[in-house]
Amino acid sequence: MIYDSRFYGTAIGGMDFDPRADRGAGDIVFTSRDIFYQFPDPAAVDVNEKSDYYVEAEPIDIEKLKQQYPDKAAFIKADLIDLVQGDKVDLDQVRFRSPTDVKTVIEGSSPYDAGTRDQALKLTLYMRDNEFIEDEVKDMDSQGIEQVKYVQRLKYPNGRKLCMAGGVLLDDGPIGYDDGQFPLFRLVNYMDPRTFWGIGDVEQTMGPQKIFNKIISFTLDVLTLMGNPIWVVDTTAGIDTDNIFNQPGLIIEKEPGSEVKRQDGVELQHYVLQLIDRVKLWFDDISGNNDVSRGVNPEGGVTAASAIESLQSAAQTRVRQKSRNLDAALQNMGQLYLSRVLQFKTAPQVYRITNNQNVTKYFRFHVAPVMDEAGNPVLDDKGDPQRVAHLVPYMENPETGQFAEGMPKQIPIKGSLDVKVATGSSLPFAKRERIEMANMAIKVGAIDPPAWLEAVDYPNWQVVLEQVKARQAEAAQMEMAAQAQAPGQIPQGAA
């Protein structure tokens, strides 16, 4: 996704639940979608913001479609048109499609059978449907008479999903996720305000690159034409000009009194190379690639540490902007992932977490509905079943190395969980700033050594701190033992 966002400005990722994954147990699957197959709502500013629908159009093999939808396998036909007989950029070509088969004819060409491609364009539509249905509800009035009421509710409260391929409706129903969001998220390289699509690095540098290529092309043309000077030969020189070649050590015999010489070529204008350098600087300014970001000492003789630090901080402006966009995309991704976990992880599974100090922890987790005494699920105010997360940590015995179950916990699930992402803390400039601040704080005595180790994110700083404390305690014991002397003994050096 990061490469797509840099090249095309926008990248799309999906977070789905595949019931066939993990040997049929089901698992959460992340996929990076092809940006050319995405068609969002024109009014959308994000996948799930001001977006009433979202369409994906992807070529799929017929065999895969038949496996996914076996009940519609007999009706799925290939409908992709191979453009080998026409120019893809020529949109004015007239095409005819037979109403009885899948043959397509481009005007002035022979018929082409689209069925030989063995692919169909699968259209997947996610939409927020406002269709209502009425439920019959029986209630008692104040006089004890039974009354029938009709309550309207949305047919697809969490969204609707339709799939079509080869002109056949393959699926029509709810999206299948409780969060009410389209199962997609977006990553942009640079924000374009109030629009869905972002701005890529290639789009910004395309103009200067074309100018640079044209200048280099003109320069090479000048060198090619003028780098091979012409010959000036008198008609009375008695030389066959067809025998004059540009070869080292060429000897030419001419008639006395005649002249044979080569004209000097026209030199390359001095402003051409200056223009090339100017375009290069323009290119670097637009792309944000300067001497400081490349680790090169900037021109001008900047040697002061504070000045260099200011230049380095300014050089990371674009990196910070991209980092914020990445944080936003990962936050949306985390929200979708947590939603899938809370909805589908109903069977106990053991998870592993590795922290920054490479310390591994294990715990068992699953989600289960709350049941009443009769074994029926307990509903909340919205009519949805209440759920509880069951968490059992595994504790390691330091003596035997074996893991044992800890105290189980039950955490009620209410609403959606918040996700916080901070990728900027791992970037080089952020680490450097954090280390410099920690060094200044410990010099003035604002923090102690344990806080300094934690601030600089020293590897295994907890273990290092315990070792330092152990050495200090050992040194203190040795000092106390040296001071504890027998009664009446005169310390060495005492008068």
Q: Could you tell me which residue, 99 or 435, shows the higher pLDDT? A: 435
Residue 171 has pLDDT above 60, yes or no: yes
Residue 490 has pLDDT above 60, yes or no: no
Residue 48 has pLDDT above 80, yes or no: yes
Average pLDDT over residues 73-89: 65
Three-class DSSP category at 160: strand
Burial of 429 (0-12, 13-18, 19+ CB in 10 A): middle
Scan for tokens 């590897």, then name that residue.
459
Element (H, E) at 278: helix 270-287
* Highest mean pLDDT (candidates 52-56, 67-71, 109-113, 477-481): 52-56
Residue 201 has pLDDT above 70, yes or no: yes
Residue 27 has pLDDT above 60, yes or no: yes
Measured between alpha carbons, how far is 6 from 287 in angstroms, rounded to an integer?
Answer: 11
Cβ atoms of residues 115 and 77 within 8 Å: yes
Q: Could you tell me which residue, 60 or 280, shows the higher pLDDT? A: 60
Three-class DSSP category at 58: strand
Tokens linked to 302: 């900047």
State residue 495's pLDDT score: 46
Residue 292 has pLDDT above 70, yes or no: no
State residue 416's pLDDT score: 74
Q: What are phi and psi of 246, to 5 degrees?
A: -90, 80
Tokens linked to 299: 């021109």
Residue 358, CA distances (Å) to 19, 147, 355, 459 in order: 32, 65, 5, 9
Please calculate the CA angle 151-154-157 and round it to the nearest 5 degrees.
135
Measured between alpha carbons, how far is 396 from 405 in angstroms, rounded to an integer?
Answer: 9
The per-residue pLDDT for range 180-198, each reduced to its tens digit, is: 899 999 999 988 888 999 9
Residues 6+ apart with CB under 8 A from 85: 106, 109, 110, 112
Residue 481 has pLDDT above 90, yes or no: no
Three-class DSSP category at 217: helix
Measured between alpha carbons, how far is 405 from 390 in angstroms, rounded to an integer?
Answer: 13
Measuring CA to CA, which residue among 196, 189, 172 is closest to residue 52?
A: 196
Residue 110 has pLDDT above 90, yes or no: no
Q: Mean pLDDT lowest for which of 181-185, 289-293, 436-440, 468-472?
A: 289-293
**Cα-Cα-Cα-Cα dihedral sign, residues 173, 179, 185, 191:** positive
Average pLDDT over residues 374-395: 82
State residue 85's pLDDT score: 45
For the sheet containing 112-113, what is the strand order?
95-97, 103-106, 112-113
Measured between alpha carbons, how far is 283 from 379 in angstroms, rounded to an integer?
Answer: 61
The per-residue pLDDT for range 387-438, each reduced to its tens digit, is: 898 989 887 776 777 788 888 888 888 877 788 776 655 556 567 777 778 8
Measuring CA to CA, which residue among 64, 88, 67, 173 is closest to residue 124?
A: 173
Average pLDDT over residues 271-300: 73
State residue 458's pLDDT score: 74
Average pLDDT over residues 187-212: 88
Scan for tokens 């990445």, then name that residue.
326
Q: How many Cα atoms within 13 Å fall on the side-chain side of residue 96?
A: 9
Residue 242 has pLDDT above 70, yes or no: yes
Q: For the chain, what is the mean pLDDT? A: 80
Burial of 172 (0-12, 13-18, 19+ CB in 10 A): exposed
Measured between alpha carbons, how far is 36 from 10 in angstroms, rounded to an integer?
Answer: 10
Pairing label, strands 10-18, 27-33: antiparallel
Average pLDDT over residues 440-448: 83
Burial of 419 (0-12, 13-18, 19+ CB in 10 A): middle
Measured between alpha carbons, how far is 264 from 129 in angstroms, rounded to an integer?
Answer: 78
* Highest mean pLDDT (candidates 296-310, 380-394, 425-439): 380-394
- pLDDT category, 492, cuts 50, 70, 90? low
Cβ atoms of residues 396 and 402 within 8 Å: yes
State residue 84's pLDDT score: 43
Cβ atoms of residues 233 and 239 within 8 Å: yes
Measuring CA to CA, which residue among 183, 187, 186, 185 is closest to residue 18?
A: 183
Q: Give percent above pLDDT 90 in the chain.
A: 20
Residue 74, CA distances (Å) to 69, 119, 173, 373 in order: 10, 15, 21, 49
State residue 418's pLDDT score: 80
* Amino acid at residue number 264: D
Q: Mean pLDDT lowest for which of 35-39, 271-275, 288-292?
A: 288-292
Cβ atoms of residues 451 and 434 within 8 Å: no
- pLDDT category, 37, cuts 50, 70, 90? very high
Q: What are phi and psi of 196, to 5 degrees?
A: -80, -40
Residue 416, CA distances (Å) to 178, 190, 335 in order: 10, 29, 8
Rg (CA), the chain: 37
Q: What are phi and psi of 265, to 5 degrees?
A: -70, 160
